[in-house]
Amino acid sequence: MPGYIIDLDGTLYAGTKPIAEAAPFIAKLRKSGSPYLFVTNNSSRTPEEVARHLREVAAIPAAAQDVLTSAQAAARYQADTAPGSRVYAIGETGLRQALTEAGLALCTDPGAEPPDAVIQGIDREFSYAKLFAASRAIMNGAAFIATNPDLQLPTEMGLTPGSGSLSAAIRAASGQEPVWIGKPSPIIMNYAVERIGLPREEIWVVGDNLRTDMAGGLAAGCRTAWVQTGVAQGADPEEQMRLTGIRPELILRHLLDWPS
């Protein structure tokens, strides 16, 4: 039986609203015994918080071990590269917890304690002081790791700046490109494939975003299923595929549109 790497926002829920077909789809996977993993570029929430959101918003049974966040992937990448290293974190609870759990030391004053790496995710308290500290550390030799390239986030107020917008500021100030961790990077996708434990060609990547979910799935050598919910809703599929140059294996109106 195949495995599934499943996107969250836009695929299983839209912000604080469930997508109707999501819970029945996950119920079918659970009944069949198919392995699956929820993978998100959101670095602000802990896996426990993501699982709670799935239960409360989408009525989907979920536990922390069912989730892989870009914060966890960034923490693992740095821990594998430089075990026990000192890092300056720009981010929220999800990122800080992931870094600590990976055995990395959080640097609170990068001026006094030069970090080995700057690891940056979404930070809704981002400031000039953090930009200065990060760019100076990077120019002094610290690695620059960014959890994801998402420039904007959909919210109830409309589009708001995403983690990638903060990365752009640090890139401009430091003159250095980051190592990108989240979708479509093969880094997070390879970790997800490892967690599923099946050959890549037996794993479906399911999501609503061509540029992140589908591009990430193709880069990882997995099968791809594009659902027309979330950011894809109302778009002309052929036009979107022409513009992006990305053509998934399956194009679905919704999750229950999966062919028998």
Per domain, the residue ranges of the chain are 3-41+183-257, 82-180
pLDDT for residue 18 is more than 80: yes
Active site residue 109: no
The mean of the pLDDT values for the chain is 95
At the fourth CATH level, the homologous superfamily of domain 3-41+183-257 is HAD superfamily/HAD-like (3.40.50.1000)
| Cβ atoms of residues 230 and 11 within 8 Å | yes
Residue 156 — pLDDT band, cuts 50, 70, 90? low
Q: What is the pLDDT of residue 68?
A: 98
User: Which of 9, 150, 208, 213 is the catalytic position?
Assistant: 9
For the domain spanning 82-180, the CATH number is 3.40.50.1000
Active site residue 213: no
User: What are the DSSP calls for 24-83, one per residue?
Assistant: HHHHHHHHHT--EEEEE---SS-HHHHHHHHHHHH-----GGGEEEHHHHHHHHHHHHST
Cα–Cα distance for residue pair 93/77, rounded to 1 Å: 18
Q: What is the pLDDT of residue 155?
A: 67
| Cβ atoms of residues 195 and 226 within 8 Å | no
| Cβ atoms of residues 106 and 133 within 8 Å | no
Residue 154 — pLDDT band, cuts 50, 70, 90? low
| pLDDT tens digits for range 78-112 | 999 999 999 999 999 999 999 999 999 999 888 88
Q: Tokens at residue 203, please?
A: 């794993």
